[in-house]
Amino acid sequence: MIQVKNLSYTYTKASEPAVTGLNFTVENGEIFGFLGPSGAGKSTTQKILIGLLKNYPGSVSILGKSLLDWNSDYYEHIGVSFEFPNHYLKLTALENLTYFGSLYKSKKHSPQDLLDLVGLNNDGKMLVSQYSKGMKTRLGVARSLLHNPDLLFMDEPTAGLDPVSSRRIRDLIRKQKEDGKTIFLTTHDMVTADELCDRVAFIVDGEIKLIGTPRDLKLQHGEPNVRVEYDDSRKTQREDFPLKDLGNNAGFLNLLKKHTIQTIHTLEATLEDVFIQATGRSLS
């Protein structure tokens, strides 16, 4: 779906490149997460992939051909939601969706259906100038789906959303994948990345440091221990055991026999732990 080779980008007047030497591919039907702290180069990368920024060293091939060979027809195939969406503030949400929908040759979803999908059911007749940041983000997500595109680019689609709205958007993204779509998801929210992404790329200071499935990354970097919490004279005690050869660990087996167990958990790293280990940086 997407092939990026040796991609770099330096903004005019900037002394440092915003991204350098990016190499990655995104497979058909996958949710690919681009995960990194603020200023890492995530939005810059998305802007290149959607054709907004040009004149870069390196190559980008999308949907089987070089980005350079695509004309405006490209936008019939991709859907984009921006970190800072550029809606018409003096129009209502429904008017915005109707207008942007009219730019596409193929229309699949009605504006009202899309508003329902992002939880703005009753806010369609409101002027977008009265929308909160989160409502604008959700309207942007609705807009990206107007023409039912095969490839979606979403820049921070859950940023600043309340838990219910965030859940709704995550469910929507998962549903898109179930429908066979490919999603390039840019985020600094590692919970969203962990939950949704088939693979994630860690990006820091314009460079990709690591790419893998969230599960593999966590297993490779996790502490392979089991933590047992148990009741001992009406007090909760806690003990850790190595996962390796656990079935022959006398201390562990003894504990199971002699005490009332309250919880048993493996200590996997969170994706954020892995990120910090791999990059030396935190996500915030």
Does residue 157 touch ligand ADP according to CB under 6 A? no
Give the CA angle between residues 239, 242, 247 to the nearest 5°: 100
Using the rule CB under 6 A, give the single segment among 11-19, 54-62, 116-124, 176-184 that binds ligand ADP.
Answer: 11-19
Min separation Cβ 17 and ligand ADP, Å: 8
Number of residues that bind ligand ADP (CB under 6 A): 11
Task: Tell me, residue by residue from 20 to 59, as one string, x for binding to ligand ADP by CB under 6 A and - for no binding.
Answer: ----------------x-xxxxxxx---------------
Min separation Cβ 146 and Mg ion, Å: 23
What CA–CA distance (Å, rounded) separates 57 from 39? Answer: 20
For ligand ADP, the closer CB: 83 or 239: 83
For Mg ion, the closer CB: 41 or 79: 41
What CA–CA distance (Å, rounded) separates 195 from 255? Answer: 34
- Least Cα distance to 138 among 96, 180, 177, 90 occurs for 96
What CA–CA distance (Å, rounded) separates 188 from 156? Answer: 7
Find the helix packing angle between 133-144 and 163-178, rounded to 10°. Answer: 10
Question: Mind giving me the DSSP string for 104-160?
Answer: -S---S-HHHHHHHTT-TT-TTSBGGG--HHHHHHHHHHHHTTT--SEEEEESTTTT
For ligand ADP, the closer CB: 115 or 190: 190
Does residue 137 touch Mg ion according to CB under 5 A? no
Which one of Mg ion, ligand ADP, none is in contact with 146 (Cβ closer than 5 to 8 A by kind)?
none
Does residue 43 touch Mg ion according to CB under 5 A? yes
Does residue 11 touch ligand ADP according to CB under 6 A? yes
What CA–CA distance (Å, rounded) separates 171 from 126? Answer: 25
Tokens in use for 168?
A: 């709704």
Does residue 161 touch ligand ADP according to CB under 6 A? no
Site residues, Mg ion (CB under 5 A): 42-43, 83
Site residues, ligand ADP (CB under 6 A): 11, 14, 18, 36, 38-44
